[in-house]
A and B are shown apart, each in its own frame.
Chain A
């Protein structure tokens, strides 16, 4: 997945989001070893200290863990990853509902349109 860092928000937060997205999408699988700080930083074109900070934060969240001798890994705890996925889904849904309300749809209409669209997409 391509790293894209926008210019307004703190870089380390964007790095956290990017790695989370990779975990959610299955690009990083449970138990996968992740590249070194230096390699990840070079790949993203960011400062290694900032990458370090992002990884420390992900570790605190329980999404990655450090093995003293062999490096960093994605957690094998699928429950944690499932929760992350759900949180991410909630975010997308809330944003969607918010936007739909802004353009003048009420909750029932949103639900109706959503069901209709899903049916159409299945065809």
Chain B
């Protein structure tokens, strides 16, 4: 099978600022991968390019062999950094909305997770706390049976107990051929569940390695290595 994601010499500029410069990256199927980098390093830009929300200046992106478009949106489940849901809607209405929208959405699964996290489906989004809203969004995204999950900062706003539940949801729910790309800087919380990490700095990839290789070679956690590499 072809790789789930193949980027070749990808460059993205915002005016005169180069957000991504000549990024080449291949992601295999069946992996949980951390996209790690400081603020403004290009994480969100890369994820938006994968989702067809931005167009690169040069280079190519192939998702399961296809350019970003309608077909790839069917197989990519995307959690953006900001919410885009109408906040007058009830949680149950958003679930219906997703069910209408995506063929691969499993509302039974969504309701199970909502009940595990004690979120009342009858509540309107605008009455929920920031963290609870984030949980709802993540539940929606993880309830799709996708080939590639792109999660942009999925655990930033939620408490540690819910974080554990969410990580557990990720490792138990994703199917064996699906890849999960998680951008975050909360490394110590998630490094146990990652297969691989990608370090991104000033729009370029500086490291792409398996977590256990880093621990074996460097004798330290990914978190410590990150602090060293990106020391301010």
Contacts of A27 in B (CB 8 A): none
Considering only residues 10-48 of chain A, those with a C-beta below 8 Å from chain B are 10-13, 38, 41-42, 45-48
Report the contact-size class of chain B (Cβ under 8 Å from the partner).
20 to 34
A66 at the interface (CB under 8 A from B): no
Considering only residues 189-217 of chain B, those with a C-beta below 8 Å from chain A are 191-195, 211-212, 215-216
B32 at the interface (CB under 8 A from A): yes
The answer on a CB contact under 8 Å between A49 and B192 is: no
Give B60-76 as 1s and 0s: 1 = Cβ < 8 Å from A's Cβ atoms: 00000000000000000
The answer on a CB contact under 8 Å between B192 and A5 is: yes
Considering only residues 143-176 of chain B, those with a C-beta below 8 Å from chain A are 164, 167-168, 171-172, 176
Indicate which residue in A8, A11, A13, A53 contacts B192 across the interface (CB closer than 8 Å).
A11
The answer on a CB contact under 8 Å between B195 and A50 is: yes
- Given the contacts A48-B171, A49-B31, A7 and B193 also touching, CB distance less than 8 Å: no
Indicate which residue in B32, B192, B216 contacts A45 across the interface (CB closer than 8 Å).
B192
A9 at the interface (CB under 8 A from B): yes
Cα–Cα distance between A41 and B31 once the two chains are bound (Å): 14
Can you show 11 pairs from A to B with CB atoms below 8 A apart?
A7-B223, A9-B219, A10-B216, A11-B215, A45-B171, A45-B192, A46-B171, A48-B171, A49-B31, A49-B195, A53-B212
A positions within 8 Å CB-CB of B: 5, 7-13, 38, 41-42, 45-50, 53
Shortest Cβ-Cβ A-B pairs, 3 listed: A7-B221, A10-B212, A10-B215
B positions within 8 Å CB-CB of A: 30-32, 164, 167-168, 171-172, 176, 188, 191-195, 211-212, 215-216, 219-221, 223-224
